Chain A
């Protein structure tokens, strides 16, 4: 029998499945054993079924207005319980520090006064909004949802690549990937116990309700989407559906007397919490872009008056800034008095002339990133760039050192991925999702593993032609509480079903009718 892993090569970077060729790490043993007997063609067939199911269900993301399926690779990525504990606590720690930082920046500014973060970094950030100063969130939460991008370096160590505390997307694929995989590869699930991910909408709703303005007992929560042409529209609809709340567009909302309402068939109905998936710039034409058709005029004033909660809070982007990222370990020490559990990737700040000179001299070895780019846009990987591209980025850095950071080129870890009908190593990253309800920061066990499908590609972003993998977190040994729900006690045993012949259609009668017809036919033939 053909071995699916027979000619699987180890690539550059940490291979998550294999330590040495042909020898799977213990985490992957069960998966390896289940997949190995499948021939490549068979796996391909199942992968096609998977793709078809995604297309039929409309699990897509829109790129330049065209709906595209988000390719899901059929080989899952597995994270052991102890590794996950580090990710979980490390991500939660980061979120706690960023919450403290945001409260500080839009409040009294201790960290700036104490010189932990230079004031100029804040005031020159494109995402620092003075408009948000003075808006005090009801339960103190500004980062209701965070997506922290992690990678594993050459030694297999998790490192933070960037923080997303504005409107991180991708959690819908975490849930849909799991659902689809369970349909297509049930035997693989039987071999491995995986922590479930379908608790996310409940977690999110709870956090959103907890953030309601004071005095509102039964808050009305809505999800605010830019509309069907947004790249993450599928996700907005899924979250609204699974939370059982309305999915509204800006035109469904109206703001009067600092109260926000939605237009319903029975008149206007008050809204208390808005989980918005619209960028700050488009949220409120009174304060931001006056030409925005997506937002609601007056929303920010309503939030300031404490009549409505906007989640995530306006102005969070200042904590996403890639230059601020370099200060996060210091912020963790400053606000929490703890050592960072997840290290950053080594990063150079280009506003220091000496560092800048050093970086420019080694520009062909480093990764250059614009500080406010997202979706992998504008990133230049020195080792893969042409001389012309390097010269171009050098000039842009000289003109605007605040606008760039430089990082060591990390060979992201790799996971076997189905390419045609062979398994090949491909680079992956990981975006776990954290939800803060004001009492604790919870991290969904799993997260979005994005995979760069072109060989050697290091940018895994979905808008750059990436795919995803189902991400499995293994349970702690001996823990069962999340995996198995209490079986319901069955009080009455249902009585066995008797075959019901139906009116006048007993087998006997049918037989007789047939015999009758036959004998009549014979008689006629005679």
Chain B
């Protein structure tokens, strides 16, 4: 597969996941802020922006400001609209590889972005975020149903999984930064669409410890950090022909990306829950670092493995 196309698919995976997760996070947080009379709106908005990696400007820390910057800013790939537009742009450049149905889904979603503001004015932000979630789900479903499980698929799922680790870690950070009051664990679980599953798993017992455990370590819930790390790892394992670069596959793992991911996963898996909670801040910060390192390692190995040849006029005469 062409490196450029692999890179596009990886980024389609990342951007669509980012759009969906951002929409989920915003939706639940805005909802909580409106309902909770004790929220310090400015403080909550600042915390949300900084966790999502955006600088907080003086006037930005208000509800409309947050919706604008995390929801509607077409110029930033950190916003829902910006991420969806970027996903479509990547698909446009990889149009012969993504299935026609996936392309059409991304394209109609992109055409629908022009109506985003009107949708919010008419139906409120919740209706808009719901639309975004649905579009992302349609895309995931079409990818699932129409893509063959070749390299292209692996890169798409790899991108999605890396982004998911990153976003779930950021989501958990919103909790730890706000000192545990707002947003509550209930909010976080709802953001991930994990509320009902969580209740069934822990029989209704709601505690910090269980909720953190669930979102970080649950092996069966697909949005948990551990599950996403494991998915990413298995994608990389499939991308490497048996054993990779190590001697007949007998020693260690093949690539940097696999090493980084494996270390992060075992670091989580073999910690006790108590330790996790006490160290939550450090654990989350490390996860965010992991994601950016994996991203670099994957790029270096698959997307830019041939040094660019720059043509200089006059070099050959």
**Which A residues contact B (CB, under 8 angstroms)?**
55-58, 223, 227-228, 233-234, 237-238, 240-241, 246-249, 251-252, 254, 262-268, 285-286, 290-291, 297
Contacts and interface: CB of A to CB of B under 8 A. Distances in A.
Contacts of A248: 2
A247 B108 contact: no
Interface stretch (B117-125, B257-265, B302-310): B302-310
A247 B96 CA distance: 7
B104 A58 contact: yes
A264 B103 contact: no
Nearest to A261: B306
B1 interface: yes
B179 interface: no
A80 to B, nearest CB: 33
B301 to A, nearest CB: 8
Given A228-B89, A241-B95, 13 more contacts: A55-B111, A57-B104, A57-B107, A58-B92, A58-B95, A227-B93, A240-B96, A241-B100, A247-B95, A251-B4, A252-B2, A263-B306, A290-B314
Given A263-B305, A267-B305, A252 B4 contact: yes
Given A286-B316, A297-B311, A265 B6 contact: yes
B314 A56 contact: no
Interface in B237-257: 239
B68 interface: no
9 contacts: A55-B111, A56-B108, A57-B103, A246-B5, A247-B95, A252-B2, A254-B309, A265-B1, A286-B311
Contacts, number: 77
Contact of B4 (A57, A58, A223, A249): A249
Contacts of B151: 265
Contacts of B5: 246
Contact of A56 (B4, B92, B107, B316): B107
Q: Chain A binding site: helix, strand, loop or mixed by DSSP? A: mixed
Contacts of A234: 95
Interface string B48-89: 000000000000000000000000000000000000000001
Contacts of A290: 311, 313-314
Interface of B: 1-6, 89, 92-93, 95-97, 100, 103-104, 107-108, 111, 151, 239, 302-303, 305-306, 308-309, 311, 313-314, 316
A234 B3 CA distance: 21
Task: Report the 8 A-B pairs with minimum CB-CB distance, sorted nearest first.
Answer: A290-B313, A237-B95, A241-B96, A240-B96, A297-B311, A247-B96, A58-B107, A265-B302
A296 to B, nearest CB: 9
A58 B103 contact: yes
Given A254-B306, A285-B311, A264 B2 contact: yes
A233 B5 CA distance: 16
B95 A264 contact: no
Interface-centre pick from A223, A266, A291 (highest chain B CB count, 10 A) = A266
A223 to B, nearest CB: 8
Contacts of A237: 95-96
A480 to B, nearest CB: 30
B96 A246 contact: yes
A51 to B, nearest CB: 12
Contacts of B239: 265
A268 B95 contact: no
A228 B104 contact: no
A474 B118 CA distance: 48
Interface-centre pick from A223, A263, A286 (highest chain B CB count, 10 A) = A263
Contacts of A241: 95-97, 100
A274 to B, nearest CB: 14
Contacts of B303: 265
A228 B4 contact: no
Contact of B2 (A56, A238, A262): A262
B4 to A, nearest CB: 5
A253 to B, nearest CB: 10
Contacts of B95: 58, 234, 237, 241, 247
Nearest to B316: A286
Contacts of B100: 57, 241
Contacts of B309: 254, 297
Contact of A228 (B6, B92, B111): B92
Nearest to A297: B311
A285 B92 contact: no
Nearest to A57: B104
Contacts of B96: 223, 237-238, 240-241, 246-247
A264 to B, nearest CB: 6
A264 B3 CA distance: 5
Contacts of B97: 241, 247
Contacts of A228: 89, 92-93
Contacts of A262: 2
Given A265-B151, A286-B316, A252 B107 contact: no
Contact of B3 (A58, A247, A263): A263
A265 B298 CA distance: 10
B104 A291 contact: no
Nearest to B6: A265
B311 A264 contact: no
B98 to A, nearest CB: 9
Contacts of B314: 290
A355 B302 CA distance: 63
A265 to B, nearest CB: 5
A55 B308 CA distance: 36
A246 B311 CA distance: 23
A263 B107 contact: no
